[in-house]
Structure 1
Amino acid sequence: MSRSLRVAVVGAGPAGIYAADILDKSDADVSVDIFERMPAPFGLIRYGVAPDHPRIKGIVTALHKVLDKPNIRLLGNVDYGTDIKLDELREFYDAVIFATGATADRPLDIPGIDLDGSHGAADFVSWYDGHPDVPRTWPLTATSVAVLGVGNVALDVARILAKTADELLTTEIPDNVHQGLKASPVTDVHVFGRRGPAQAKFTPLELRELDHSPNVEVIVYPEDIEFDEGSIAALRESKQIDMVVKTLQEWAIRDQGDRPKRLHLHFFHSPTEILGEDGKVVGLRTERTELTGDGNVRGTGEFHDWGVQAVYRAVGYLSSHLPEVPFDHVDGVVPNQAGRVLDLDENQVPGVYVTGWIKRGPVGLIGHTKGDAAETIASLLADADTLPEPQHTSPDAILGFLAARGIAFTTWEGWGKLDTYEKDLGTPHGRERIKVVERDEMLRVSRS
């Protein structure tokens, strides 16, 4: 490669930061600006992971080291599509990488899904993680709740609903969330999976964490422990699945304790309808399913009604369409080949790339985005000599552009101020930090 490169990454979550890190470690002469619509970095680590996950939060330490690098610059509180457009980014950068992830709930088309009390898991996660753009209150009035899905997000939602609020005071949970959960009357949380234990999507660690609370009794039903040839094959092929199943089997045969709250794990129950009265959720109807030999299931025609007053769907996330960027609305991804964005005629869009969930869909763990980033960066560097050259080459030109638009952007130094401020808020209470929720307050501290 015979030229230096300036690259814009849109999205300061793990996917975007990993891409910047791989670029920085390459042999190329490259500088990277990471644009983030939140005033703070780290994406789903800050706004998509339950606050009682300190091990996963520890990934921030590694990401922090990347953003400390001199050739990588953070520009926060800049909303792509509103504050700056693709054509404008291309005036300042040789290439643009979109790493915007997936933050919306995948829809579930069953009767009653729009009733009052039917919620998307992503919205609830945003609330309990203190996202600045969502309401400060949440309708926690149900005594019995259903969670649809058996992935890690479903377990996060179920665990946060079932735990007592004071158990979360060792975390960075915002004050408004603590007060909301403290007033919740919930006693029973029911998690429903359409298939069996061997087809569950959560990880062994996530599952075992359910049983750590002294206030929550985790209940698994013996009749739900069933396997077919496809299930047994999955157990043999995956140590992770085997660990999950062994834990569920142990819980299914143990004596039930007397902890004040109960978290029920149900398998072989496919949701068919959310029941309502006067526009509000009063129940959930499921159809019992059975294995078909290959790990899939079919309905049995046997239905069950569950008396719940709220339903949370955690059946997957969905990426959102980015302005000026091609989008596959069926699969919820940007069409691409090895990270190179393709137009409607499957031709490469010069200088535009994707990585992370917006590239391959919301599957896999956080660490899996490293592989995505490596592939995308390899494509970008292979294209380097043919990339369209930007109009403005000075690194300060983009700062002048943002300032002229009146955009109150934040920086890595500003994050340091906010980081210290949140930790100082937590110190008098013996907590690592208390997260600031209001965007204006985040900006005031970051730009002070």
Structure 2
Amino acid sequence: MPQSPATPLPSPKERRRLREAKSLSHADLAARIGVTRETVRSWETGRTNPRGRKRETYAKLLNATANANGDANGNASSEERTGSAEESRTTFAKTVTKNTNPSAPTPGPAAAPTATTRRHPVRTKPTPGGKSTSRPQPAAKRAAKPRTPAPMASAAPAAANGHIRPLPVRVTRPQTARPPDLTPAQAFDALCAHCAPGLVRQTYLLTGRRGLAHESVERAFQLAWQRWPEVAIDRDPAGWVRAAAYEYAMSPWHRFRPSQRHPDAPPAQPADRTFLDVLLSLPPAQRRTLMLYDGIGLDLPETAAETEASTPAAANRLLHAREAIAERLPDLADPEALHLRLAEVGKAEKLRLPKADRVRTGSEYRARFWTRAAIAFTALIIGATALTLKNAPTHYEPPQAPGRAISGVPPRMGPGPLTYEDTTLREKLRAELPNGQERLTPRAE
């Protein structure tokens, strides 16, 4: 049965903008769809996408929000166009008044119009002599005129039924200088220089191994460079790289590597050594939650979203981790003291930092290697398949039928037992046969 195509969804950044335009929180949107707030947050960051009926409901809510915003923008645009036309007509009327009646007072700058002030176009009254006179406006209306010049000015009048219609003239606005755009390599180098030192210290506290910390951060940045179009538009590129580094550093498969069988040298200070031992004794999930919340300073929903857990589960992990540390180190019962201690222990170690140019080179080399390996493996499979088809039989050969017994044939008889005479003769021949010439030449008797 063919499957129906998935409902299209806007980009993660557009999803968040539509939700905020509707003044909806994560909890409100989650309650309408029937999911948790962390799930909605994960949808807006682009890490996961809805499926099935939840995807359709989510798409309908976003489309309704987009349509509502489009109507509001259309009404606002029409109001702005009406206001601009009225301002243009008023400005042109003041110009005509000044030219036809030089003695009339020139209105000065005033504050922007309020909600209760309405601007009306100035009407001129033609005189018998062919000149047009205008009625001066009151001081209250002059005070309601905008201080800033109108976006559209007029060039020449066109009289029709006593009204003056301005001719719009485009006004050029000063262009603001845009900062120069960075190339992908420059943006990646800036991200690496900004995030690499902190990530190396954090992964060291999570694993207790200096080499693994450097390798984890380097592999995370290599993965980020391979997927740079995705990482560059992410709401939090540093969080993307941090999640990749944590996943690689805390992988349980490292225990089977020969280089990870022996522990690293402990820190030089006894207090740092004790604190690191206590930290490494925690389960990996509690260790990561503690690092994100108390070490980096993320809030609880963001910590739960990055660890792919619910908010209550993340809160329980954090409380258990704090209790375990406070039980063995009572001085760190305060969360602020624990935060400072994590920063001090991480900065005390001299750790190698990955270089951005080497990371990009290594990422490209790894991508080329795996691409060529995939091509070679595919070619091998194609060659094996072609060889099999070449040597395969082209016609069906039925198997041979099993043999069956034939009746009516007498059994084959072998030599029977010797009689007494035959046995005596045999013994005589064996005893009397001579050795040598006599055996071959018979002698006469």
Fold shared per TM-score above 0.5: no
Structure (1 or 2) with the greater helix fraction: 2
Larger radius of gyration: 2
Q: Name the TM tier (shorter chain).
A: under 0.3
Structure (1 or 2) with the greater strand fraction: 1
Larger RCO, structures 1/2 (Cα 8 Å, 6+ apart): 1
TM-score normalised by the chain length of structure 2: 0.19
